[in-house]
Amino acid sequence: MTDLLRWFSEPYGSSFMRNAGLVAVLIGILAPTVGVWVVLRRIAYLGDAMSHGTLSGVAAAYFAGINVAIGALCAGLLMGLLVALLERQRRVSQDSAIGVIETLLFAAGVLLISRNDRAGVDLTHFLFGQIVTADRSDLAVNAALTSVALMVVAVLFDDLRTITFDAPHARQVGVNVRALQLALIVLISITVVVSLDTVGLLMSVALLITPAATARLLTNRVETMTALAVVIGVSSALGGLTLSYHLATPPGPTIAVATVAWFTGAIAVGRPLGRFRHPMT
């Protein structure tokens, strides 16, 4: 037992690893909380595409000399807007619209990076994450963004459930469905921004989707699903970070693998646990 505790605590002796641990906890809370609605609304592909498309915003902000978080946020919003506009064409389905816009924004990001060799090196940090380089200012920004996003989810929780389950009814009782859809796009964008330091753009979807999808296997209540997803997210982020220290592996992919391990476990025990859930017809 003592050995196990030492194994967990040893990496966090240094301040840079403590910062990394706190950043991991923040994304471990935020991404699954937002991810619950991404999973329930069945827009996992949009979440994945937004994480990739955000590269253009990160690259543009980098070259403009402004905070990359602002660039990432703008790119996420631009992606949501372009997908919505393209969807209005009756012959373009949502997944096709997402595929086209994701390609455009990701390619734009790669083209921008290719114009500057040094930038290419720096921007790979955002693609794959560099959690151990997170400093106090990164921590402060991520904590502020996470707090705002969690408050928004808490305030809109009932309305998110209503628009996800029955959007026509939501409209009828006065819920602004479009505003909530936009709010969700903003929340996904914020999640991607907070993921930049930890798992990076390419694997941010691991913490956005997998913990929520895992929790969905274990419960029939959104509140419980959110709590379980957060537990899975935080334990995957911290567990993955700790494991990466001991195995000398990159933290981002190790965290991503940890989330999938939870998912695999839930698939394995999902059937026995199903006995304790309310039956679904």
Partner 1 sequence: MTPAAPPALRADGVTVHYGTHLALHEVSFEVGAGELVAVIGPNGAGKSTLLRALCGLVAHRGAVELAGHRCHHRRDRMGTAYIPQRADIDHGFPITVGQLALAGRRRFLRTGQRPGREHRRAAETALRRVGLAAEADRPLGALSGGQVQRAFLARALAQEARLLFLDEALSGVDQPRTEAMLDLFEALRRDGATLLVATHDLALARRRFARCLAINTRLVADGPPARALDNAALEATFGSALSPTR
Q: Residues in the site for partner 1, rule: CB under 8 A?
A: 40, 90, 155-156, 158-159, 161-162, 164-166, 168-176, 216, 219-222, 225, 278-281
Show the tokens assigned to 175. 């819920």
Residue with Cβ nearer partner 1 (17 or 156): 156
Shortest gap between Cβ of 175 and partner 1 (angstroms)?
Answer: 6
Shortest gap between Cβ of 185 and partner 1 (angstroms)?
Answer: 18
Residue with Cβ nearer partner 1 (193 or 222): 222
Shortest gap between Cβ of 41 and partner 1 (angstroms)?
Answer: 10
Show the tokens assigned to 133. 């380089």
Shortest gap between Cβ of 252 and partner 1 (angstroms)?
Answer: 30
CA angle, 168 then 173 then 175, to 5°? 75
CA dihedral (156, 69, 178, 100) positive or negative: negative
Shortest gap between Cβ of 38 and partner 1 (angstroms)?
Answer: 14
Residue with Cβ nearer partner 1 (154 or 248): 154
Residue at 12: amino acid letter: Y
| Contact by Cβ (8 Å): 172, 53 | no
Show the tokens assigned to 104. 């455009």
Residue with Cβ nearer partner 1 (140 or 267): 267
Distance CA 95, CA 43 (A): 9
Residue with Cβ nearer partner 1 (73 or 156): 156
| Contact by Cβ (8 Å): 124, 71 | no
